[in-house]
C-alpha cells in the first residue's frame, strides 16, 4: 500500500505472532521500511550503523541471512530495518529487473520452504526498490485500509503505480489475497468515515478495478471492469467475510430492518499499548477479541486466498 499509517506494521507483527506463536509455523518477518516503525515496535531502535552487517550484505554480498536475523521471542524471527536507505541506493545501481529480483533470489528462493514456512514483509508507504523487491518476492498481499479520506486514493495509487506495472512485468505472479478494513470505531448506519470506507469496499466497481489492476479488461484509471467480470464475485474473493456487507444488507440497515453490524478490525487501545511495550498484540494481549479476525486473515494466508 503506497500510503503510510494504515496499519501495515501492526498487521505484519500480529500475523507473524499468529502464524508463528499460535500456529507453530516457522515465520520470518522482514521490515523493509526505512522508517522502521515495525522494528521500533519490537524493540529494535537502530536505523543506521555502517559497521553492522545489513540486508545489502545479504542481497549483494556474501553474508548469510542468519547474520541479520533476530529473535524477538514472539514466535517468529525478524529482520529489523537497518541502513535501508543505503540498501536502496545499492540496489538502484543494478539493472531494473535484476535489482527487483534480489530479495526473491537471496531470501525467498533460498529459505522459504527450507527454513521458513512463511515470510512476511512490511513495506514502505512509498514506491522504491525495496517495495518492488517485496512485491516480486512475496506476490501475495494483504492490504489494510483505514477509514480516512485518503484511503481509497492510496489504494488507487497502489493499483496504478505498483500493482498494474508488476502484473505487466510478471503476468500471473501477483495476487491481492484480501483487503481488510482496520481501526474501525464508528456506527455504519450514519454517514461516518467507517461507513464510507465499508460501502466503497463492498459496492463500488472502481474499488474492484483497483484490486484487479493490470488484468485484461480492467481499467483502474477509469475505475471500470469489462463484462467478463462479476462485481460481487470479485469483491467476495478479496474482502474477508467478516467485512463483507452486500447491497441488500446496506438497504436493510438504512431501513432500520436490522441492527447495524460492527465489522472488524475494530479500534483497540491494546494495539498502541502493545507497541509501547515493544510486543506484538499476540504477546501483549493474547485474549484480545480482535485476534479472532486476525486469525481469519491468517487462514486466508494459509489457504492462499479467501475460501468461499
Q: What is the pLDDT of residues 61-114, one digit of tens each?
A: 999 999 999 999 999 999 999 999 999 998 888 766 678 899 999 999 999 999
Among 52-66, 136-150, 268-282, 286-300, the range scoring the smallest mean pLDDT is 136-150
- Assigned domain for 188 exists: yes
Count the alpha carbons within 13 Å of 129 in the hemisphere toward its beta carbon: 23
> How far apart are alpha carbons 7 and 123 in whole angstroms?
11
Question: What pLDDT sits at residue 150?
Answer: 86
Q: Do the strands 224-225 and 218-219 form a parallel or antiparallel pair, or are they unpaired?
A: antiparallel
Closest residue by Cα to residue 38 from 125, 152, 103:
125
Summary mean pLDDT of the chain: 94
Q: Does residue 213 have a pLDDT over 80? A: yes
Q: Rounded to the nearest 5°, which phi and psi values hold at 136? A: -70, -40
Question: What pLDDT sits at residue 4?
Answer: 52
Q: Which domain holds residue 261?
A: 8-303
Q: What CATH number should be reported for the domain holding residue 103?
A: 3.40.50.300
> How far apart are alpha carbons 45 and 51 in whole angstroms?
16
- Assigned domain for 297 exists: yes
Beta carbons of 164 and 210 less than 8 angstroms apart: no
- How is residue 267 written as a grid cell? 479500534
Closest residue by Cα to residue 223 from 168, 143, 127, 155:
155
Does 18 or 166 have the greater pLDDT score?
A: 18
- Assigned domain for 1 exists: no
- Assigned domain for 195 exists: yes
Q: Does residue 10 have a pLDDT over 90? A: yes
User: Cell 461507513, residue?
Assistant: 195
Question: What pLDDT sits at residue 1?
Answer: 45
Confidence of residue 140 (pLDDT cuts 50, 70, 90): very high
- Assigned domain for 175 exists: yes
Residue 8 burial by CB count (10 A; 0-12/13-18/19+): exposed, middle or buried?
buried
- Assigned domain for 308 exists: no
Complete DSSP assignment for the chain: --SSSSSHHHHHHHHHHIIIIIT---EEEEE--TT-HHHHHTT------TTS--HHHHHTSS--GGGT-B--SSSSEEE---SHHHHHHHHHTS-HHHHHTHHIIIIIHHHBTTTBSEEEEE--SS-SHHHHHHHHHS-EEEEEE-SSTTHHHHHHHHIIIIIHHHHHHSTT--EEEEEEE-SB-S-SSSS-HHHHHHHHHHH-HHHHHHHTTTSTTEETTTTEE-TTS-HHHHHHTTS-GGG---HHHHHHHHTTSSPPP-PSSBP-HHHHHHHHTT--HHHH-TT-TTHHHHHHHHHHHHHTS---
Question: What pLDDT sits at residue 186?
Answer: 95
- Assigned domain for 176 exists: yes
Mean pLDDT of 173-181: 94
Question: What pLDDT sits at residue 97?
Answer: 64
Q: How many structural domains are present in the chain? A: 1
Confidence of residue 127 (pLDDT cuts 50, 70, 90): confident
Q: Does residue 2 have a pLDDT over 70? A: no
User: Cell 541506493, residue?
Assistant: 89
pTM of the model: 0.95
Mean pLDDT of 174-200: 96
The distance in angstroms from the start CA to the end CA of the chain is 25
Go through the chain and tell me how many residues it has: 308
- Assigned domain for 2 exists: no
Q: What does each C-alpha distance from 5 to 13, 64, 183 come to in angstroms?
A: 15, 32, 11
Q: Does residue 29 have a pLDDT over 50? A: yes
| CB neighbours of residue 166 within 10 Å | 20
Q: Does residue 288 have a pLDDT over 90? A: yes
Amino acid at each position: 500500500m503506497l500510503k503510510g499509517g494504515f496499519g501495515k506494521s501492526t498487521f505484519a507483527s500480529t500475523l507473524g505472532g499468529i502464524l508463528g506463536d499460535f500456529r507453530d509455523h516457522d515465520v520470518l518477518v522482514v521490515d523493509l521500511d526505512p522508517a522502521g516503525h515495525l522494528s521500533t515496535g519490537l524493540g529494535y531502535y537502530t536505523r543506521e550503523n555502517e559497521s553492522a552487517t545489513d540486508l545489502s550484505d545479504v542481497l549483494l554480498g556474501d553474508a548469510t541471512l542468519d547474520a541479520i536475523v533476530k529473535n524477538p521471542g514472539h514466535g517468529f524471527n525478524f529482520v529489523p530495518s537497518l541502513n535501508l536507505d543505503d540498501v536502496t541506493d545499492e540496489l538502484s545501481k543494478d539493472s531494473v529487473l535484476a535489482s527487483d529480483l534480489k530479495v526473491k533470489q537471496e531470501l525467498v528462493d533460498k529459505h522459504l520452504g527450507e527454513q521458513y514456512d512463511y515470510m512476511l514483509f512490511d513495506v514502505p508507504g512509498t514506491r522504491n526498490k525495496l517495495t518492488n523487491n517485496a512485491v516480486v518476492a512475496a506476490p501475495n498481499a494483504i492490504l489494510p485500509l483505514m477509514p480516512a479520506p485518503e484511503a481509497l486514493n492510496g489504494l488507487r495509487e497502489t493499483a496504478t503505480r505498483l500493482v498494474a506495472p508488476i502484473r505487466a512485468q510478471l503476468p500471473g505472479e501477483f495476487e491481492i489475497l484480501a483487503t481488510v478494513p482496520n481501526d474501525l470505531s464508528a456506527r455504519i448506519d450514519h454517514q461516518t468515515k467507517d461507513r464510507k470506507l465499508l460501502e466503497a469496499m463492498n459496492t463500488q466497481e472502481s474499488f474492484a478495478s483497483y484490486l484487479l489492476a493490470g488484468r485484461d479488461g480492467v481499467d483502474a484509471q477509469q475505475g471500470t471492469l469489462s463484462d467478463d467480470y462479476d462485481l460481487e464475485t470479485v469483491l467476495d474473493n478479496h474482502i474477508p467475510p467478516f467485512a463483507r456487507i452486500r447491497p441488500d444488507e446496506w438497504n436493510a440497515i438504512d431501513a432500520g430492518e436490522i441492527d447495524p453490524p460492527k465489522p472488524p478490525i475494530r479500534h483497540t487501545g491494546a494495539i498502541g499499548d502493545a507497541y509501547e511495550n515493544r510486543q506484538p498484540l499476540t504477546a501483549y494481549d493474547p485474549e484480545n477479541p480482535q485476534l479472532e479476525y486476525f486469525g481469519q486473515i491468517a487462514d486466508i494466508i494459509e489457504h492462499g486466498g479467501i475460501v468461499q
